[in-house]
Copies of this chain bind each other. A is one copy, B any other.
């Protein structure tokens, strides 16, 4: 083994050395290779159960209706034949199903680096960074502090650095040191220059949405026609549960789908608070809230890329606070997956926890939610790295720790692990070792040792004595050091100078115009 280890080190060191000279190899991570789920999904519902939740969702839309606080949507849905009472929209299941049937079951998202293009749907599972926490925590600061542009940029660097993060979701922390009127301009400039992955726009008023679409177009060096020819980006909206869609979110989606971009509709239905205390009821309500919006978008832009999101969890009955990564959360995610397949829609779920620091609780809650994402057949996994305190805190240590889990999930899906060819069964190898040898030195092992097993970047597999001699460093502290090393050696992905200047000019012009209104 020592011999193998030495040889491996020599080779690995060579690669790592070269990469380090490029300043990009703090760790040896897995290559960019968005995974495909090979397992059958976990399906807790019988076909009758799926039918019951579907029927419940349809009856919600037919009998109760959803409030649309958006005049344009009301006009469109009236024209489409829905029943409109004030701002309450009731729609028949035939209409809903006809519209939802127009949505593609799979679509692509192509960012400024076309090598980072993503397929959303089918067996593809994609991970994105934590999005939208107002606060930040790291080991050095040691307490919860407001987000800033610098902290946001550092988390964007992690988003770019880790190959297991496939898309750049919302702001990984809200930079509250930037005025809300211009925040989107500065952060999108940072996002587009620090990462080359798929971008997201917040649907928070037409100016923001239009600005972000324009910046994504500029960053990709596209004409307007080219931008609209295929999905380049997406937005994610939440309904205001129960049963309400607000003005800017619907407006943002309409703007995106009309230009061929993608939308994800993610109701936030906390069972026992904004949804029934029963999980099937909370899921039915979530499905209803999502489908009525998707029906609207399909009526406006048939075939527009849409995904159905789930954010169904439960509250802590002691405090009313949201709980995450619970058994109920896992089941709700799996049930929503069954319904998403029933509707033929790609699905989004999340990596979540209620823990306040990156400790054991954070990891079991996050593991629960990430495995539920895998088991449910989720296609996009929001908040997959960096989330703490129910989404109120972003943490770089948590980000690095989550990426270790994500890499393992990606490796878990590698078909080589469960291959059963003659060479995999390895009867000759077993025969050659017999009853008394070991497999370290034999050719069958030599031929495969460098790729046979997952190699973690953060897990410490030394024995206790070795770990103690190396300083007895617990996981979050190891993650903190790695975070600092990555930030300190970060190199932004290449961008044409002219494009960068065009982006900067756009930001400057829009700032001079006052940015976006802040009375949303």
> Chain A: residues with CB nearer than 8 A to chain B?
1-2, 4-5, 8-9, 38-40, 42-45, 48-49, 52-53, 55-56, 59-60, 63-67, 88, 135, 137, 143-144, 242-244, 271-281, 284-285, 314-321, 323, 326-328, 330-331, 334-335, 354-368, 371, 389-390, 392-393, 401, 404-405, 408-409, 411-412, 414, 417-421, 423-427, 429-431, 433-440, 444-445, 448-450, 452-455, 458-465, 467-468, 472, 474-476, 479
Q: Is the beta-carbon distance between A273 and B444 smaller than 8 angstroms? A: no
Q: How long is the Cα–Cα vector from A437 to B404 in the complex, in angstroms?
A: 41
Known: A243-B435, A318-B5. A43 touches B40 (CB 8 A): yes
Quick check: B44 and A418 within 8 Å, CB to CB?
yes
Q: Which residues of B contact A405 (CB under 8 A)?
A: 364
- The smallest beta-carbon distance between A63 and chain B, in angstroms, is 7
Q: Is the pair B364, A4 in contact by a Cβ cutoff of 8 Å?
A: no
A355-B460, A363-B360 as given contacts; A4 in contact with B425, CB under 8 Å: no
Contact A418 B453 (CB under 8 A): no
- Which of B137, B360, B461 makes the CB contact (< 8 A) with A323? B461
Residues of B within 8 A of A390 (CB): 463
Residues of B within 8 A of A440 (CB): 272-273, 320
Q: Are B64 and A317 in contact (CB under 8 A)?
A: no
Look across to chain B and name the residue whose beta carbon is closest to the beta carbon of A324.
Answer: B461
- Chain B residue with Cβ nearest A12: B318
Contacts of A430 in B (CB 8 A): 60, 64, 242-243, 275-276, 281, 284-285
Contact B278 A318, beta carbon cutoff 8 Å: no
Q: Nearest residue in B to A474 (C-beta to C-beta)?
A: B359
With A327-B411, A327-B454, A430-B285 in contact, is A389–B438 under 8 Å at CB? no
Residues from chain B with a CB closer than 8 A to the CB of A371 are 367, 371
Contacts of A55 in B (CB 8 A): 425
| A459-B354 contact in complex given A363-B360, A424-B280, A453-B323, C-beta closer than 8 Å | yes
A-B contact pairs, 18 of them (CB 8 A): A1-B273, A8-B318, A39-B44, A44-B418, A49-B420, A135-B464, A271-B453, A272-B452, A276-B439, A278-B448, A314-B452, A317-B455, A319-B461, A327-B454, A360-B476, A364-B401, A364-B404, A367-B367
A401 and chain B: residue at smallest CB distance:
B360
Are B319 and A5 in contact, with the CB atoms below 8 A? yes
B420 and A475 contacting across the interface, CB-CB below 8 Å: no
Cβ-defined contact, A359 with B475, below 8 A: yes
* Most chain B Cβ neighbours within 10 Å, of A39, A53, A242, A444: A242
Task: Answer whether A331 and B418 are a contact pair too, CB < 8 Å, given A408-B326, A440-B273.
Answer: yes
The answer to whether A425 touches B281, judged by C-beta atoms less than 8 angstroms apart, is yes
Q: A5-B318, A430-B60 are in contact. Are A326 and B242 (CB under 8 A)?
A: no
A479 to B229, CA, bound (A): 56
Going nearest first, the 9 A-B pairs with the smallest beta carbon separation are A281-B426, A1-B320, A363-B363, A56-B425, A367-B367, A276-B426, A360-B475, A327-B412, A44-B418
- Shortest CB–CB separation between residue A49 and chain B, in angstroms? 4
Give the interface centre of A243, A244, A363, A449 by most chain B CB atoms within 10 Å: A363
Residue of B280, B315, B424 near A278 (CB, 8 A) is B424
In the complex, the chain B residue whose C-beta lies closest to that of A64 is: B431
Decide: A449 near B273, CB < 8 A? Known: A44-B418, A474-B357.
no
Residues of chain B lying within 8 A (CB to CB) of residue A444: 276-278
Closest approach, in angstroms, between the C-beta of A40 and any C-beta of chain B? 7
Which residues of chain B come closer than 8 Å to A274, judged between CB atoms?
438-439
A389 touches B244 (CB 8 A): no
